[in-house]
Structure 1
Amino acid sequence: MKIGLNFLPTLSPDEVAASEYYADCLSLCETADRLGFAHAKAVEHYFHPWGGYSPDPITFLAAVAQRTTRLRLVTGACVPAFTHPVKLAASLATLDNLSGGRLDAGFGRAFLPTEFAAFDIPLAESKSRMREGVSAVVKLWTESGFRWEGTHHTFGPLPPLLPRPVQTPHPPVLIAATASQDSFQWAGEQGHHLMIIPVVASHERLAELLRVYRNAREAHGHRDVPKLHVSYHAYVAEDHGTALREAEAHFDAYREKQLEAYASWRGVSSDQYPGYELMEAAVRSLTFEDLLKAGNVVVGDPDAAIQALNKVADRYPGGEISLHVRFGDITHRQAARTVHLLGRDVLPAVAHR
């Protein structure tokens, strides 16, 4: 079982300065690298305290690359809709070089109306821009002298992109998918890898969607073993009861930030995002107890964390687990404790999975 860290900041400047938050996260990555964690993953979001400290995951992961030697660096996910393919391909290739070939390039559609409005991009174009952007980035990494005439971008023919990625033929490409069968189908057809968040859909629904994905991969001749990243909140302390009490309070703080961001869907609807206008109400009704019962958090003492991670391994065989260890108003000290206990007591116990 491979386990890494997931960074989705939920802080505002009146709580923790951005410079302090970044320093804390780099320290966590150094510790994780030393303790045998598999990856560091960073999201792309804008403006809101929920995610707003992470508008540029590539820059953040470039800093992580200089502090670590083993961690894979995962954009989880960068948004092609908000960046020209040439710029995105070049930035990611630079990160792959700076890290010595440790990049896993994750891409997503984004979903907050405020972010699309800021870039003057219609929500209706999110799917086509993401798919066109991913395809153009891969082509820029691997070919040259071609003319790109897409729906949203036209360029070329161009000389070979520089720098070329270290990994050949290119870094692994992961697609963020939640509950849309179409997303799983397309990722499988293209032979890309997957990033999923079980809290968004039930385990039963995800099992169906993963079958769709695997069938699509097989039908289109992709024989390599796919990567699957699965993300959870995590909070570990020496005392089980203390971990449960503190984690619940931090989850409530996380949810308040999440609700503020999701409120941007009020009065908005899009056939590209069916049902997203209902997300705010769904999140408001979700409790920490619900997450515990569904096995959608890794919380407790080290023994409880081992049990939770073994359940994840049973549900998603071969999955690589991303743990969000600083959510809500968790302090750096508390996040560092979680990372330390995971590295010392938990990783060795689940490594064989």
Structure 2
Amino acid sequence: MEHGISLLPDCRPARRSAPQYYDDVLAAARTADAAGLSYVKMTEHYLGDYGGYCPSPLTFLAAVAAQTSRIRLMTGCVLPVFHHPVQLAAHAAMVDAISHGRVDIGFARAWLPYEFEAFGVPMDTSRDRYVDTIRAVIQLWTQEKASAESPFFSFHDATSLPPVVQRPHPPVWGAAVRSRESFAWLAEQGFGLLVTPSPLAKDLETTQDLVRLYLETFEDTHEGTGMKPRVAISVPLLVADSDQEAMDTALPLLREYIDVMAEAAGSWSNTSSQDYPGYANLRRSFDLVTDAELEYGGTHVVGSPKAAVERIHWLRESLNADVCLWNVDFGGQDGTVMQRSLRTFIDKVLPHVP
């Protein structure tokens, strides 16, 4: 099993400035690199407190590349619905070159109505745009003269520069949350799966069922090819010397993490889309999460080193995870809290979860 750090800024500017946040997470990336962790992942979002400090994961990962030597750089994820494939392919290839071939590209469909509104992109086209853009990006990486025709873009005999360092192209992952169609499509394409389970363990069965669908579809589609499915999970992590110390520190941060997600999901209150069934009630599902559920029934890894080891084994087995990407910046926490937890994880947990 591989491990890495997962970053999704949920900072309110009044609480933490952007320079403070970037300093803290770049320091975390350097710590992870020095410790031999496999990945640092950053997610793209716009405008709101939920993810708004990272409109460009590839820009952030270029900075990580300059300060590290071996850790892989993962977008988790870029949102192709808001990008032209020529731009996205070239930008990713540039970071691949800067890092000497350390980039993994994760894609996601985007899910926040206010982002679609700001970019002038209809939500009901998101799945088709997602599929067409990913296919075009891979063409640009792998064909000397690439051409594509789509309702959303077109190009002919395009030679994308710089060329990617990794051959035939950087590893590709896709995020999926609720849609069975998304899990199956990622498997059919041979892509890795990025999944963030529900914050509550009582909802884990749904995610388990979707991961099984991905694995079964992958096996049916690629049997005999030598290709292997890959499942990466992302959950909050906070480790301290004792369970009580860890929870005392983590609970207000988890509450903030849930509250910021709920505020972002509130943009669904007056929106509906055929491409996003079930999202209309998303805010309510976050608002109903209680502190008691976070303390006693969450999917996060919070506790002493011993408890963390047990929890990680449980999550790994529950979700068939090959990669665990630990969300170390949740709740707008500062660098001191982040580094203390990360160092404890590296020193006292990692040796027991190979």
Alignment TM-score, normalising by the size of structure 2: 0.95
Aligned positions of 1:188-337 closer than 5 A: 188-199=187-198, 202-221=203-222, 223-291=226-294, 293-294=296-297, 296-337=299-340
* Partner of residue 128, structure 2: 128
Cα distance, 1:331 vs. partner?
A: 1.6
Cα distance, 1:114 vs. partner?
A: 0.4
Distance 2:296 2:133 in 1: 38
Aligned positions, number:
350
Aligned positions of 1:1-353 closer than 5 A: 1-158=1-158, 160-199=159-198, 202-221=203-222, 223-291=226-294, 293-294=296-297, 296-351=299-354
8 Å Cα contact 2:16/2:332 also seen in 1: no
After the TM superposition, which segments of 4 or more aligned residues of structure 1 sit over 6 Å from their partners? none
Distance 1:56 1:68 in 2: 19
RMSD of the alignment, in Å?
1.5
Distance 2:64 2:332 in 1: 22
Distance 1:288 1:181 in 2: 30
- Further displaced range: 5-14 or 199-208: 199-208
- Further displaced range: 245-254 or 25-34: 245-254
8 Å Cα contact 2:239/2:302 also seen in 1: yes
Cα distance, 1:294 vs. partner?
A: 4.6
Tell me the alpha carbon deviations over residues 10-42 of structure 1, each in whole angstroms, 9 at most, x when there is no partner.
Answer: 112222211121111111110111112111000
Distance 1:27 1:107 in 2: 25
Q: Look up the equivalent residue of 2:320 and give its one-letter code.
A: P
Structure 2 SS opposite 1:156: strand
Distance 1:199 1:218 in 2: 26
- Further displaced range: 98-107 or 144-153: 144-153
8 Å Cα contact 1:298/1:308 also seen in 2: yes
8 Å Cα contact 1:217/1:223 also seen in 2: no
Tell me the alpha carbon deviations over residues 181-229 of structure 1, each in whole angstroms, 9 at most, x when there is no partner.
Answer: 1001111111111100111793322232223222322333353122211
5+ long unaligned stretches in structure 1? none
Tell me the alpha carbon deviations over residues 294-349 of structure 1, each in whole angstroms, 9 at most, x when there is no partner.
Answer: 55100011111111111122223342011111211322100111110011111111
Distance 1:338 1:344 in 2: 10
Distance 2:272 2:111 in 1: 11
Identical positions, percent: 37
Distance 2:278 2:193 in 1: 22
Distance 2:320 2:259 in 1: 33
Q: Classify 1:146/1:37 alpha carbon distance in 2 versus 1 (closer, same or farther; 3 Å).
A: closer
Q: Classify 1:292/1:179 alpha carbon distance in 2 versus 1 (closer, same or farther; 3 Å).
A: farther
Structure 2 SS opposite 1:171: coil
Distance 1:187 1:5 in 2: 23
Structure 2 SS opposite 1:249: helix
Structure 2 SS opposite 1:229: strand
- Further displaced range: 283-292 or 115-124: 283-292
Q: Classify 1:319/1:289 alpha carbon distance in 2 versus 1 (closer, same or farther; 3 Å).
A: farther
8 Å Cα contact 2:236/2:330 also seen in 1: yes
- Further displaced range: 139-148 or 25-34: 139-148
Cα distance, 1:292 vs. partner?
A: 5.2
5+ long unaligned stretches in structure 2? none
Structure 1 SS opposite 2:331: coil
Distance 2:216 2:257 in 1: 36
Alignment TM-score, normalising by the size of structure 1: 0.95
Q: Look up the equivalent residue of 2:274 and give its one-letter code.
A: D
Distance 1:262 1:317 in 2: 28
Distance 2:65 2:41 in 1: 12
8 Å Cα contact 2:183/2:211 also seen in 1: yes
Distance 1:135 1:40 in 2: 25
